[in-house]
Structure 1
Amino acid sequence: MDCKQDRNLERCNCTYSGCSRQGICCECLHYHLKSRQLPGCCFPQDAERTYDRSFEHFARLVSGKKV
């Protein structure tokens, strides 16, 4: 299977400039899940900029109807 990195980058909202996984969703997801986190694309833009990608942060956003 070929990675569709160019197409994925169109939807990637990750603002971490040093990230080597931008647009490579499978690697990004694997990286974050092993740390009990979700990738930036799961968060609204203002929440993504905090770099708090924890499950708990996501749950707070869902509870507050922000996701």
Structure 2
Amino acid sequence: MECKQEQNLSGCNCTYEPCQRKGICCECIAYHLKSRQLPACCFPAEAEATYDRSFAHFAKLVQAGKI
């Protein structure tokens, strides 16, 4: 399957500038899951900006109705 990196970038809200996985979703998801995290696209902008991409942070946001 061909990567649609340019198309994926339009929905990527990652603010970590030196990230080499931007728009390469399969690599991004694998990287974050290996680190027991979720990628930026799972979080609203204000939560993503904290760089706390933990499962616990995601769960708190869900419980607060922010996701």
Query: Normalising by the residue count of structure 2, what TM-score does the alignment of the two structures yield?
Result: 0.99
In structure 2, stretches of 5+ residues that fail to align are: none
The answer to whether the aligner puts 1:29 opposite 2:10 as a matched pair is no
- Cα offset, 1:42, TM superposition: 0.2
One-letter amino acid of the structure 1 residue matched with residue 33 of structure 2: L
Structure 1 residue 28: deviation in Å? 0.1
- 2:59 match: 59
Shift of 1:47: 0.2
Q: Whole-Å Cα distance in 2 between the matches of residues 26 and 55 of structure 1?
A: 19
Where does structure 1 differ by over 4 angstroms across 4 or more consecutive aligned residues?
none
Aligned residues with identical type, % of pairs: 69
TM norm structure 1: 0.99
Q: Distance in 2 between the 1:6 and 1:40 partners?
A: 17
Unmatched 5+ residue regions in structure 1?
A: none
- Kindly provide the amino acid, as one letter, of the partner of residue 60 in structure 1: K
Q: CA RMSD in A?
A: 0.3
Question: 1:14-35 CA distances to partner (integer Å, 9 max, x unpaired)?
Answer: 0000000000000000000011
